[in-house]
Amino acid sequence: MVSLTHTNGTTATTHFGWDGDRIVREKSDSQSTTTIYEPSRFVPILRIDDTQQVQMMSAFITDALGTPMQLVAANGETKWQAQPDDWAAVKNMSGSTSQPIRFQDQWHDEESGLYYNRHRYYDPQQGRYISQDPIGLSGGTNLYGYVTNPAGAVDPLGLEGLKLCAQEGSAAGGAAALASRAVAIGGRAAIPTWASNPWGAIVLAMMPTTSPHLQ
């Protein structure tokens, strides 16, 4: 739950619903938004907006990294669109609807401009985290680094860069590294799964291990 007090003295409260490590629901007094992801992954595929008057369903169009590039309504209208950016995920955004999802499992915070990345906050202007690595120097000397190559890797939990590659061995290595780091900081268990994306690459996904809940 997040409460925001505006300059005019009014307070707005937003409740967030979680499915494991994924934000799946955002609810305010006037509207609720539900996001549906690919099974066991952090790539969004569908969004449902509910207001007191109407329910609207929209589909995500993502790039090879799973970053949303378009949000298209059932009637074909583009509600939101952007161009890809190596370090900020998106640029030149336009449309009638706000869309906060950036790189996999990153959530744009409008007030700060930062991306909430589960265990850390990411600064899209600097292309690095503003929060230290949760396991400190055990993860290397660069405590604030994101992935080495943002055009070919993601970091869904803010714990470990995961390459999107065509070799299963590389994905398996990334899975083992992330699982060990999740255990090291006492986080949820990381269960690797593999699936073919539309480009034929083998990607690493994180399997949620808890039931949906509100906080």
Q: How far apart are CA 168 and CA 91, in angstroms?
A: 32
Tell me if 213 is assigned to some domain: no
Q: What is the pLDDT of residues 95-128, one digit of tens each?
A: 999 999 999 999 999 989 999 999 999 999 999 9
> Which two tokens mark 77?
């209208």
Which residue type is seen at 28?
Answer: S
Q: What is the pLDDT of residues 150-206, one digit of tens each?
A: 999 999 999 999 988 543 333 444 444 444 444 444 433 332 332 333 332 333 333
Total domains, the chain: 1
Tell me if 91 is assigned to some domain: yes
Instruction: Examine the pLDDT at 56 and tell me if it is beyond 80.
Output: yes
CB 89 within 8 A of CB 102: yes
Q: How far apart are CA 183 and CA 6, in angstroms?
A: 39
Mean per-residue pLDDT of the chain: 79
Tell me if 120 is assigned to some domain: yes
HSE-up of 12 (CA within 13 Å, CB side)?
Answer: 11
Tell me if 214 is assigned to some domain: no
Tell me if 161 is assigned to some domain: yes
Whole-number Cα distances in Å, 189 to 93, 136, 154, 198: 35, 19, 18, 27
Instruction: Examine the pLDDT at 42 and tell me if it is beyond 60.
Output: yes
Greatest mean pLDDT among 38-42, 90-94, 209-213 lies in 90-94
Structural domain for 202, as ranges: 2-208
Sign of the CA dihedral with 54 first, then 49, 111, and 84 last: negative
